[in-house]
Structure 1
Amino acid sequence: MQVLRPQTSGNVDRVLDCHGNKVVLISRRRVFSLTAGCATFLAAPYLSLRQSRASDAIELPEVRGGGKIRIGLLWSLTGHLSVIEKPSRDVALYWIDEVNKSGGVGGYQIEPVIMDAKSDLKTYRSAIMTLMRDEHVLATFGGYLSVSRRAVMPLVTENRGVFYYPTCYEGRECWQHIVCTGPLPNQHSLDLIPYMVRNYGPSAYFVGSNYIWARESSRNAIEWLTQAGGQLLGEKYVPLGQDNFDVICKDIKNKRPDWIFSTVVSDSDIFFRKEYARQGLSSDRVPIASLTTSELEVKKLGVSYGEGHILSAPYFQSLGGATNAQFVDRFLGSRFGESGVTHFNMEETYLAFLYFKKSVERVLQENGHVPLTPENVRAFSGGLHLSNEESPEGEVHLDPDNLNSWLKPKIGRFNGLGQIELLWQSSEKVSPKPYLLYPERGVCLSDGLHLPNGTIVKAAS
């Protein structure tokens, strides 16, 4: 995005974009790498919550009639995650530009406060506090890795904010201040694994990035592989950002599975697929089935690296329908469409903003122009619907209890043009079940996780 006339004050750069709209761009020094910090955070996920309890508690922002709504955009614009996160920021700016031109949300113009998370766990945590405490945003949108979501969740909860997380994740949590627009395991791999067994063979090899998303996704997938009569020939994990897959690809060649289940993410996925091809592996011999390798990664790799491989996601750029055609054409034709493609994470980001708009309008419709706060935006989010005329992937809605999405799972295969041909889709929307493998843990409802003994646990992981 072109920016003009910077006016710098401390760590905050306030700029005007090329249309004269005010944008706030904040930059923080990288102090802690994401890959080094993952293990520490996962070992003590509530550390940030305890540390955030200071005497100067955050005052909830209030938006009153006639003003602007400030929202936070928290994605990595630099570092190894920028390959997948920056395009979601671009979709956010596209939506903001479009909605402001059409009169805003409930009469309010939207003002984005942009922070670069720098592919860095500690920056995610400091940034969300800056957005809530100093910038007084009404809501924040962002994140891609589960460790980044988990980094901000305790802070958002402690300070009664609301965070929109627009991508797939592993479930097994019940947080009341997080709105999730992507699929859970029962909405992608539950269908993908038996599909691969039926159509490609019973033997599988699992490879993933070494963090909670891949580990928990594989735990679900192994259960469903067993139920489908399949067998696991190998299971390997690599550090986030790993660029060497020589040994793993040699092991795949030696064990000769029928197919690979990959939960490798970000630029590591690109390195993995390049090594896979370099060693002579191909989709006609051992196809890769993924939950995250999208049109974006294939475009960066080259279409030949994707052809014949499988993706399970609720959205593909190639989906039919007038709503998706308009979304693709208008976004890619805008000044924000430098990615050259749309993909599931970008579309789920777009849905997050549509839900946010509806929630704000719902608050205003029910209560008039009372002050808008993160709490009443969150309170009016449950049960919101997006129609076929609104959602590029088709009709979806937010669960009234756990604020995850009801959606239609889909399975597709890359063709020689870098696009995905639809192979299968659910005939009905599927409900989000964050504890599908863990029924003994209870049920996630709007006030917390209801344990079998009657106890209610808020912000449960």
Structure 2
Amino acid sequence: SEVDVIFGSWTSVSRKSALPVLEELNGLMFYPVQYEGEESSRNVFYTGAAPNQQAIPATDYFLEELGVEKFALLGTDYVYPRTTNNILEQYLIDNGIAADDIFVNYTPFGHSDWSTIVADVVELGADGSQVGVISTINGDANIGFYKELAAAGISADDIPVVAFSVGEEELSGLDTSDLVGHLAAWNYFQSAESELNDEWVAAWKAAMGDERVTNDPMEAHYIGFNMWVNAVEDAGTTDVDAVRTAMYGQEFPNLTGGTAVMLPNHHLAKPVLIGEITADGQFDIISQTSEVPGDAWTDYLPESAVLTSDWKDLGCGMYNTETETCVQLTSNY
């Protein structure tokens, strides 16, 4: 094929649809969005967050900082929320939260009638327990959800919501009054304080207009693209196999003041940031970790905990550490 590399795809469905073609033709894709993990293709570099770089730390924040005792896991009905919530449900149970204190609900894309679901969430706290919502609700459905919470008189102090799919772009042009004080977990926010970020945001606004915002998947592509360029220069070719080999251990400054490193499992080491939504649609960063290495296979599901991905030394994305064999016959679609 004439294509050296693809930067893109937004949903997990689109990524999984591209996988068979990438693998058959030995293509290369950089995928920039947080995702559910449980995948490791030799033809994809995952520059967005795996669950241990977004969902798990956000849940820890709820448990440790906000004292949340009951959890509502609300998601849009597709692969990313379902897999993420399977992991989170097990993680919460492992951390002493009773199964009965975890409410899981899925709604279709564009869902608009949130009154019953919000009532169910409020009911969780009827006994005085602190309730928190972990949201994998995607797209426009978010507007109706936050509006319904506000209409029910629920503030972020009463029932905090932490979202994994609400960022600056989603908030731009919205009336954010219903969202102020609620949280989002990402690996980058436009409001991150670093000289590099100031320059980058200024350049973006100069090119696209002052009202345009940056967001986490943009930073992921910025890192991934620069790493690819450096790998091509190191390899002296755009040949996929040579570039893949040159990608391992690539380092590039991220925009939050640290350094992104490409790991042998095709994931990055990234800091985890939690931001509080402000009235102007930006985020006040209230928590930031040091770099967390992305994990292709979660430690919190027994069948995945035994798997590791190492394309550099083991040449395998699904290596079973107990049997010491590569169990990857084909990708799991």
TM-score w.r.t. the length of structure 1 is: 0.64
Among 188, 200, 209, which residue is 1:315 paired with? Answer: 188
CA displacement 1:341-396 (0-9 Å, x = unmatched): 111122212222112211211122xxxxx5x32332223212110125xx456311
Which ranges in structure 2 are unaligned for 5 or more consecutive residues? none
Q: Secondary structure at the match of 1:164?
A: strand
Supply the distance in 2 between the matched residues of 1:440 and 1:198 (Cα, whole angstroms).
24
1:332 to 2:191 alignment: no
Conserved 8 A contact 1:241-1:267: yes
Among 206, 209, 214, which residue is 2:81 paired with? Answer: 214
Conserved 8 A contact 1:202-1:229: no
**One-letter amino acid of the counterpart of residue 206, structure 2:** G
Supply the distance in 2 between the matched residues of 1:392 and 1:331 (Cα, whole angstroms).
16
CA displacement 1:99-156 (0-9 Å, x = unmatched): xxxxxxxxxxxxxxxxxxxxxxxxxxxxxxxxxxxxx221111112111111111111
**One-letter amino acid of the counterpart of residue 120, structure 2:** D
* TM-fit CA distance, 1:205: 1.0
Conserved 8 A contact 2:124-2:131: no
1:270 to 2:140 alignment: no
Among 159, 179, 191, which residue is 2:57 paired with? Answer: 191
Whose RCO is larger (CA < 8 A, sep 6+)? 2
Within 5 A, what are the aligned runs for 1:204-243?
Answer: 204-231=71-98, 232-243=101-112
Among 271, 276, 284, which residue is 1:413 paired with? Answer: 276
CA displacement 1:152-194 (0-9 Å, x = unmatched): 1111111100011001111111211001111111112222112
Q: Secondary structure at the match of 1:284?
A: coil
Which ranges in structure 1 are unaligned for 5 or more consecutive residues? 1-59, 61-135, 365-369
1:455 counterpart residue number: 325
1:443 counterpart residue number: 308
1:300 counterpart residue number: 173
Q: 1:376 to 1:271 in 2, by over 3 A?
A: farther
**One-letter amino acid of the counterpart of residue 139, structure 2:** S
Which structure has the greater CA radius of gyration? 1
* TM-fit CA distance, 1:244: 2.8
Q: Secondary structure at the match of 1:285?
A: coil
Q: Secondary structure at the match of 1:179?
A: strand
CA displacement 1:182-237 (0-9 Å, x = unmatched): 11111122221121123332111111011121011112222332344435342100
Q: Secondary structure at the match of 1:300?
A: coil
1:432 to 2:294 alignment: yes
Conserved 8 A contact 2:190-2:197: yes
Within 5 A, what are the aligned runs for 1:41-440?
Answer: 60=1, 136-200=2-66, 201-231=68-98, 232-256=101-125, 258-334=131-207, 336-337=208-209, 340-364=212-236, 372-387=238-253, 391-392=255-256, 394-399=258-263, 401-426=264-289, 428-435=290-297, 436-437=299-300, 438-440=303-305
Q: Secondary structure at the match of 1:266?
A: coil
**One-letter amino acid of the counterpart of residue 292, structure 2:** V
Q: Secondary structure at the match of 1:206?
A: strand
Q: Secondary structure at the match of 1:423?
A: strand
TM-score w.r.t. the length of structure 2 is: 0.87
Q: How many residues align?
A: 316
Q: Percent identity?
A: 25
Supply the distance in 1 between the matched residues of 2:224 and 2:188 (Cα, whole angstroms).
14
